[in-house]
Structures are given as structure tokens and as C-alpha cells.
Amino acid sequence: MARCFLATVCLLSLLEMVSSFTMHRKDNVAVYWGQKSSISLADACDNDNYNMIIMGFVTNYNTSVPNSLVLNLAGNCGEGMSPCSDLAKDITTCQSKGKAVTLSLGGGSLPPWEMITLNSDQEAKDFGNMMYNTFLGGSVDDPKRPFGSAVLDGFDLDIEQGSTDHFDVFIQTVRDASTQNHDSRWYYFTAAPQCPQLTGQPYGNLFSTTPFDALFVQFYNNDCGLDAWPESPWNFDAWNNWAENDAPNNGSVKVYIGAPAASGPGMAHYVDAQKLGDIILDTVRKYGSFGGVMLWDIYAAKSNDNFDAAVKKDLNESMIPKIGHLRRSVNVGDLLP
């Protein structure tokens, strides 16, 4: 009975390790959540296949328009900046399981375009301080915070329209606010460019001037998408070269394969789980910057025969060459005294 209990503890510990988030790993699965209400954040966090939940989106902000910040989580929260007490509880519960929960800025939309507009460095500083106080570790008792005292783990940029002018100042301001507040957390900054957008709009020179923790490169809706692999114009090698040589924090930034979790509108160049598994294995072996897979989105994954489970399995199996025979031969009994 004692051995059975210990075996259960070992298995639960291993599952927690697999589903928790650490940036340096190569087997993370990040997923976008929030644009439908059929899967709660609590249910998303109970899924051991996911390491990072990206809540989407903050869609609008313009300093010239009062109260212009818009948090759009579809039916999961009220309109604008309404209090979301249920989500606040889910966020802290999710983090207690070792998962990261971040908030994405931007997102795709139909005309008229919704955009986050920063017209000057001063506007970027104001925006950075406001976002730090509203969603991160500042002013946690402010009643205007939609998630109350819950503190998110960072921000993601999914800028589909406009530009990212002055976003470098926004990011640095958040970092500075954290330091000035003696905040012990490290807040993640990620971005989700489309695969042709290593240079040019909308990100401009942001990737050459500003350190990011990870990029979730969208290998879909473009000719360099997943179904081009392994031939050009598939271009993970260009992103890896940037990560290892040209990024301000080269050698530490991670590049994820961004993949649609099902076929359908806005998810062109989708590949099935078997082909994505082949791409993952090839990418893990070739590129040191590889950090895992980003899925758009959690609802598509569930509807597509739990696509996330196949992706996580492929990532786990891709790690086998890294630890050789230990991965293949170890059993729970070997871990017991």
C-alpha cells in the first residue's frame, strides 16, 4: 500500500512538472483562450497539455480617447473593463498549478480595425504604467482592476494592424515599474508575428531593439505556413537565426511553432497532428531556439479530437533523444526507495 501511495505521488509530481511552465523548456504548449465561452478558464487550466494560457484580447487603446481601453474576452467577462471576479479566482488557481497566464494585446478583427495606438514615447509610458497597475503587480487594491488582486504573468503582442511604434518604450516602462515597485515577479513579454513578419510592418524594428522572452510565430495564413515544410518558403530557420544571432537577448529567446488547431476560416495552411509531429521532431533536432508549440485556439483544439493531446504527445516524444535510454526504460518503481 505504501509503495502504491508513493507511486501515485510520483506520477502526480511528474504530471505537474510536464504541465507547469518554464521558459527554457522545449516542450511547452501555449494556447489562446477567451474568444468563446464554451471552455472556462478553470477547465483550460485543468488540462495538463497546456503550460501557458494566453487570454485574448485587449483590443483598443488610444490616449486621446478617455476610457478607451477595451478588454474583449467574449462571453467570459463583461464589456469594456467590467469586473471579472470568477476569472480572478481561476487565474490564481491556474498559477498555483505552475501554469503561466498572460494577456494578449491586439488580435485580428474585421473593419473598422480595432487598434492599440501609441503616438509618442510619453503615451507609451502612460500606457505601460496603466497596464502594469491594471493587470500586473501595481495597485492591486484598485477597484478598477478587472481581475482584482490577481496578478497576470505578462503580456503578449498580437498586433495584426497598424504599427508597433513606441512599443519598445511601453515594454521598458512595464519593466521599470516592476523594478520601482520592488516586484519580485519576472513578467513575460511575447509576440505572435505572422511568419513573413521578421522585418517590416507591423512590428518594424521592434524585434531588433527590444528583448522578448518568446515569439509565437504564426505559421499559417501565409505561404511560409506549416504545409510548406520542409521546403522554402517555410522559414523557421530565419527565425532561429534571429533568435540566436540578432535578437537583443540572443541565445535566450524562444521561438514557438504557431499552429492552427483545426482547419477553417482564419486557419489556412493547417496540417494534421501526424504531420505536425514530424515538423516538431525535425525542428527540435535542428534549432536551439525552439520552445514548443502555440495553438490557435483552445476551442478549435477541443473540437478537433483534442488536437492538443496529440501535440503534447509529439513534444514529449521529441525529447526522448535528449535523455536517451533513461526516458525509455524508467518506471515508477525505479523512483521508489
| Active site positions, annotated | 160
- List Cβ neighbours of 233 (8 Å cut-off, separation of 6 or more): 223, 224
Grid coordinates given for 308: 492538443
**H-only helix segments in 1-120:** 2-19, 41-46, 85-96
Half-sphere exposure of 250 (CA within 13 A, CB side): 12
CA–CA dist 37, 162 (Å, integer): 28
> What angle, 0 to 180 degrees and rounded to 10, lies between the N-to-C axes of helices 307-318 and 273-286?
30
CB atoms within 10 A of CB 308: 23
CB atoms within 10 A of CB 243: 25
CA–CA dist 324, 238 (Å, integer): 29
- List Cβ neighbours of 257 (8 Å cut-off, separation of 6 or more): 217, 219, 226, 236, 276, 279, 280, 283, 290, 292, 293, 294
